[in-house]
Amino acid sequence: MPIGAVIEFTSITKKFGQVTAVNDLSFTVEPGRVTGFLGPNGAGKTTTLRMLLGLVAPTSGTATFGGLRYRDLPRPLHTVGAALEAASFHPGRTAAHHLGVYAIAAGLPRTRVTEVLHTVGLADHATQRVGGYSLGMRQRLGLAYSLLGDPGVLVLDEPINGLDPEGIKWIRGFLSSMAAEGRTVLVSSHLLSEVQQSVDDVIIIAKGELVHSGPLSSLDTNIAPQVIVDSPNRDALIAALTEAGLPFTSGRTGLIVAVPDPGLVGHVAFTAGVELNVLHRQKAGLEDSFLALVEGGDSL
Amino acid sequence: MNLILRPVAAEFSKILTTRMWWILALVLFGYITLLAGGLAALFGGLESGAISPDAVNTGGGSGSLTGLGSLPPLIYSFASSVGYVFPVLLGALATTGEFRHQTLTPTFLATPKRGRVLGAKTIALFVVGAALGVVGLAASVGVGALVLSSFGVDPLLADGETWALIGRTVLAMALWAVIGVGLGVLVPSQVASIVIVLAFTQFVEPLLRFAATFTEVTADIGKFLPGAASDALVGASFFTLTSPGSAVLTSWQGGLVLLAYGLVAAVGGYFISWKRDVT
Ligand SMILES: Nc1ncnc2c1ncn2[C@@H]1O[C@H](COP(=O)(O)OP(=O)(O)OP(=O)(O)O)[C@@H](O)[C@H]1O
Ligand SMILES: [Mg+2]
């Protein structure tokens, strides 16, 4: 049973000329858990993961697996499996040959090729040229590559992109089961909702900087709940809220009042003699919480 | 030992699992068969009198050419003097393909020591280049000797010197593939690389070599051109025969110059493109 190593980023920074893609990022990723690495487009997720894997040289700082840089790992594919977003295949090679090349390079038995193709559901397409693969099939092949060495650490960049609903359901379960076996699983995404069901921890970055890290539940407390209220006479309700000095905005289903207590809103309406037909408390979703954290972080 | 053997085996696998190698081998064989077979028939015909010299306008050169008794080696050397573009192309495609298809990512993940990967590629292409040499020779010697002997010209196959030439041709083709690898890392754009290979081998270098023969000084420089070095290594070529008096390197000097081109390009390319960020 492979045991996952701790991934550790220490003050890692990457500048592409004038552009600072990643700025002084430090965090750790624990084994036995699925960690979501989240951020909007251009936040620096791919750059960070490529630095971790030794593909991009950091401007400063380090990224290690159990204290070792990727290039110092004695048997890299046995320790870390990675699938990055770009499709990295020669279109004229079959899936089995593609994996076979790297199995040879890593000194892995050829039987692993058949096994991982089976795991990701590509066994029937093993001898097909990758040039004819769909986006989802390429995504699966990338995942198959990451599993070749049966590694204790999985690093996946946007693995859900392009998968069909069945594939998404499968990969969620798969990631959880990998973590349950004691492996370290780091998965990036630009959508929290995409990974929300399977991640235990979240690391959120925006504009190359860390904005939040902790268990998924820690996102819950970040945004105060709100009250949704509506009246058959909405103008009167607006007047009453303004009179009472409660901040609100207009929503599709009523007015959204930025206070946590529905009783307070009910009392204001009651004293102003306004009839209500909607009054309830709404907890902001995790996605809202995520968006609030990365707000203004959209570099695109 | 596994540290270099595995990457070398992986590089072989990369070449053999795509179609390019046998397409190039096939075209090489066809091209050299046509040239070597055709010229063997022409000169063999002249030599044996089957074709009257008046029937061909060779500007008087044919008399001395056929009189040299060097017809078989000349024909046999087509494998490298004309065919060298094929190993260069295969080497350049092997490297530029990694950039083009972004396979550097899985490659460097499996073997993070990048210098080792480039070394492995160089070794693998050296061997595959030698194999292309054998294919080219199968055409130039196989077909050439057949045609020559059919005109009653001795194909010199019992001659040790012929077999030494065959060996040097294989070495030249292997070195050309290494030059291709070097070019591919110097110019990672596949299209640019192919254009450079074709333009240089088919136009620029032949013109330079011809122009260099005009003065002694330029001839001394011209003999270091890769094509000239290759012909020097092999020891016979249509070009050197038709440009008499031009300075040539000795065989082993030619081999070293060729090797130097390949290694300098590969080391330069390592710094220019190979150790760069893979994004
Ligand atoms: N090779 C490069 N040269 C210059 N700038 C780059 C390069 N690669 C990335 N960048 C810049 O670095 C920043 C971060 O890019 P990165 O690809 O890491 O973002 P990301 O979080 O993966 O985004 P996405 O969700 O779109 O995949 C962007 O501003 C991008 O333009
Ligand atoms: Mg990305």
Low-confidence ranges of chain A (pLDDT < 50): 297-300
**pLDDT for the residue numbered B171:** 97
Residues A102 and A193 placed together within one structural domain of the fold: yes
CA of A11 from ligand 1 middle (Å) equals 18
Instruction: Name the residue with the closest Cα to ligand 1, atom 26.
Output: A41
CB A145 within 8 A of CB B106: yes
Predicted local confidence at residue A295, as pLDDT: 76
Whether A1 is in a domain gets the answer no
Ligand 1 atom at minimal distance to the Cα of residue A17: 4
Amino acid at B112: P
- β-pairing verdict for A34-38 and A201-206: parallel
Q: Which of B10, B112, B277 sits opposite A101 (nearest CB)?
A: B10
C-beta of residue A23 within 8 angstroms of C-beta of residue A297: no
Ligand 1 centre distance from Cα of residue B169 (Å): 48
pLDDT, tens digit, 9 for 90 and up, residues B33-53: 999 999 999 988 887 776 766
Whether B57 is in a domain gets the answer: yes
Does residue A161 fall inside a structural domain?
A: yes
pTM for the predicted model, two decimal places: 0.87
Per residue in B53-82, pLDDT tens?
665 554 444 444 444 457 888 899 999 999
Q: Answer yes or no: are the C-beta atoms of A260 and A202 closer than 8 Å.
A: no
pLDDT value of position B61: 41
Range with the poorest average pLDDT among A162-166, B143-147, B188-192, B213-217: B213-217
Kindly state the average pLDDT of the residues B109-136: 97
Q: Kindly state whether residue A288 falls inside one of the protein's structural domains.
A: no
Residues A199 and A85 in one domain: yes
Asked whether residue B129 is domain-assigned, the answer is yes
Stretch B98-120: mean pLDDT, rounded?
A: 97
Partner residue opposite A102 with nearest CB, options B18, B97, B110? B110
Is residue A40 within 8 Å of A204, Cβ to Cβ?
no
For residue A296, tell me if it sits in a domain: no
Residue minimizing CA distance to atom 12 of ligand 1: A21
- Residues with CB in 5 Å of ion ligand 2: A 45-46
**Cβ contact (<8 Å) for B13 and A56?**
no
Same domain, A114 and A189: yes
- Write down which residue in A220, A235, A270 finishes a domain: A220
As for how many domains chain B has, the answer is 1
| CA B94/CA A77 separation, integer angstroms | 23
Least confident of A20-29, B122-131, B219-228: B219-228
Assess if residue B112 is contained within a domain.
Answer: yes
| Domain-embedded: residue B279 | no
Same domain, residue pair A194 and A248: no
Average the pLDDT over B94-118 and give the result. Answer: 97
Classify residue A109: in a domain, yes or no: yes
A172 lies in the same domain as A29: yes
Does B67 touch chain A if contact means CB atoms closer than 8 Å?
Answer: no
Clarify whether residues A118 and A169 are in a common domain: yes
Which of B7, B101, B108 shows the shortest C-beta gap to A91?
Answer: B101
The reply to whether A132 falls in a domain is yes
pLDDT of B90 > 90? The answer is yes
The β-bridge relationship of strands A254-257 and A226-230 is antiparallel
Residue-level pLDDT at A219: 79
Question: What is the rounded average pLDDT for all residues in chain B?
Answer: 88
Q: Does A2 touch chain B (CB under 8 A)?
A: no
Q: What is the pLDDT of residue A256?
A: 87
pLDDT of residue A89: 93
Q: Strands of A201-206's sheet, edge to edge?
A: A80-83, A153-157, A184-189, A34-38, A201-206, A209-215
Per-residue pLDDT, B240: 58
Residue B102 placed within a domain: yes
Both A164 and A204 in one domain: the answer is yes
User: Do A143 and A246 belong to one domain?
Assistant: no
Distance CA B197, CA A261 (A): 75
Tell whether the torsion through CA atoms of A87, A88, A91 and A97 is positive or negative.
Answer: negative
In a domain, A128, yes or no: yes
Sheet of A7-16, strand order? A19-29, A7-16, A60-65
Q: Do A107 and B2 touch (CB under 8 A)?
A: yes
Pocket test for ligand 1, best of A12, A19, A157 (most atoms within 8 A of CB): A19
Q: Which domain holds residue A260?
A: 226-281
Report the alpha-carbon distance of residue A294 to residue A292 in Å, rounded: 6
List chain A residues with CB under 8 Å of B19. Answer: 92
**pLDDT value, residue A221:** 63
Residues A114 and A95 in one domain: yes
Q: Do B109 and A92 touch (CB under 8 A)?
A: no
A53 reaches B (C-beta below 8 A): yes
* Full domain range(s) for residue B260: 2-274
- Cα→Cα distances A61→A10, A15, A25, Å: 6, 12, 8
Using the Cα atoms of residue B230, residue B232, residue B235 and residue B239 in order, give the sign of their dihedral: positive
The CATH number that applies at residue A209 is 3.40.50.300
pLDDT the model gives residue A26: 97
Last residue of a domain, one of A220, A241, A268: A220
A137 and A14 within one domain:
yes
User: How many Cβ atoms sit within 10 Å of the Cβ of residue B194?
Assistant: 18
Domain total for chain A?
A: 2
Best residue in A55, A68, A108, A148 to probe B by mutation, most B CBs within 10 Å?
A55
More confident residue, B159 or B114: B114
Nearest-by-Cβ selection for A93 from B9, B17, B105: B17
- State the ligand closest to the CA atom of A294: 1
Nearest atom in ligand 1 to the alpha carbon of residue B277 is: 1
The CATH number for A274's domain is 3.30.70
Instruction: Look at ligand 1, atom 3, and give the residue with the nearest C-alpha.
Output: A16
Are A244 and A199 contained in the same domain?
Answer: no
Given a contact cutoff of 8 angstroms between Cβ atoms, the answer to whether A147 and A81 are in contact is: yes
Chain B nearest C-alpha distance from A87 (Å): 7
Helices (H) then strands (E): counts for chain B: 16, 0
- What six digits make up the tokens of A264? 């307070």
Q: What is the DSSP string of B167-183?
A: HHHHHHHHHHHHHHHHH
pLDDT score for B260: 97
pLDDT for position A253: 78
- Please report whether residue B126 resides in a domain: yes
In this structure, the answer to whether residues A201 and A151 fall within a common structural domain is yes
